Amino acid sequence: MAEIKVPDLGESISEGTLHKWLVKVGDTVGQGDLLAELETDKVNLEISAEESGVIESILRGEGENVAVGEVIAVIGSGAGASAQAPAPAAEAAQAAPATEATAAEKESAPAAAPAAAPAAPAPVPAPAADSGAYYASPAARKLAREKGIDLNGVSARDPIGRIQHDDVQANSARPAAAPAAAPAAPAKPAAPASGAAGDSAKPIERQRMSRRRQTIATRLVEAQQTAAMLTTFNEVDMTAILDIRKRRKDAFKEKHDVGLGFMSFFTKAVVGALKAYPLLNAEIDGQDILVKKFYDIGIAVAAKEGLVVPVVRDADRLSFAEIERSIAELATKARSNSLALSDLQGGSFTITNGGVFGSLLSTPILNAPQVGILGMHKIQLRPVAIDEERSENRPMMYIALSYDHRIVDGAEAVGFLVKVKEMLEDPETLLLEG
């Protein structure tokens, strides 16, 4: 007998929520088979069987909070199940010659045939999709289970053969004609009317917040309540960076097999500014200030389940190509829900880019316990005065720095942002200072 326990979830995470059971009592499982999905504050994890056997009991239900180390299910010895499996086969083998022995048994054979018919559908393809005969991300397996897709029939576009969420989505798009016949479901909107709060008869849909969304909400409120948060703004002329990307992007892509985006420039500029203004690379610990001598830069990514901030480690030691590659890999993992806890822990400063969604100006909220976060925004052509007599349309971007005024003074914050602006407008300095 083996107990299935909630695994260690990493630093600062002591519990999770059972999102979904993938097995039920009586199911036979093998070592490494997926048993349940666990939702934590930061990522979703999958719990696997450490031994083969039969699920004897499930102790906690879906939606319940479970602590690290808590027993949530019990697997019984699989010896009995495996020993019994060959027995029916042996009996069937003995029954075959017996049916040829007597005519009476031959007449009874047709009666046995219908009994064999229900046994044939037993190996349903859907469970086989979770058997692990493919290499797929957790998000891909989850979507396949929801849509009833056999992953063995899904082709992967990943060079190493890993099936991703988008591969399953593309596969499910083809039989989309069948679900079109299901518009019978629109009758459901009438139901919420009876359950509407108060005297209103208008439809309301109640949705439970995911654990991650609850955590995001809690931490954002805490950041505003515990930090003396202030935001300062500036704007950057992106002409030089756009010119470099235009001239170098093809050669860069050919050499490094990754695109030359804006994030590598901003990451380098942030590292250079942090070296000049180290208090923005710190955090408060009681009465002490912990000034970090490393540069692990968090990059905010909007995933389906909520905002996550994976971390680019030792960004000061990375080249432009290495930064771009790291960010691309982390963003892909974030959107396929395959980030590990180690990808999210220990950042020293954060960059967030609302410009990809069209934001022109915003005030980012601190990613506690960090004391600084840089917000990028949309690049927009605006008239800029060149001198007293001339003006030109230039590609301009507003940038915003939110900081904790408890340890960062206004002069330091403004100086930091000006430093970022200067290095972005003169990208050659990024090679020297970033």
pLDDT in tens, 156-174: 776 656 677 777 777 876 6
Closest CA to 305 of 335, 281, 342: 335
Report the C-alpha dihedral over residues 290, 292, 297, 302, rounded to 10 degrees: -10
pLDDT in tens, 74-128: 888 754 444 344 444 444 444 444 444 444 444 444 444 444 444 444 443 433 4
CA atoms in the 13 A half-sphere facing the CB of 191: 6
DSSP 132: S
Mean pLDDT confidence for 367-374: 94
- Contacting residues for 182 by C-beta, under 8 A, at least 6 apart: none
Query: Does this model's pTM top 0.95?
Result: no
- pLDDT exceeds cutoff 80 at 223: yes
Mean pLDDT confidence for 39-68: 80
Whole-Å CA distances, 159 to 135, 156, 326: 12, 8, 17
pLDDT (0 to 100) of residue 114: 43
Question: From CA 263, how far away is CA 323, in angstroms rounded?
Answer: 8
Burial class (CB in 10 A: 0-12, 13-18, 19+), 302: middle
405 is a catalytic site residue: yes
Closest CA to 270 of 250, 297, 248, 244: 297
296 is a catalytic site residue: no
pLDDT (0 to 100) of residue 294: 95
At residue 304, what is the residue type? K
pLDDT (0 to 100) of residue 63: 78
The residue from 243, 250, 409, 426 that is catalytic is: 409
The residue from 8, 250, 405, 426 that is catalytic is: 405
pLDDT (0 to 100) of residue 245: 93
- pLDDT exceeds cutoff 70 at 130: no
Mean pLDDT confidence for 273-284: 96
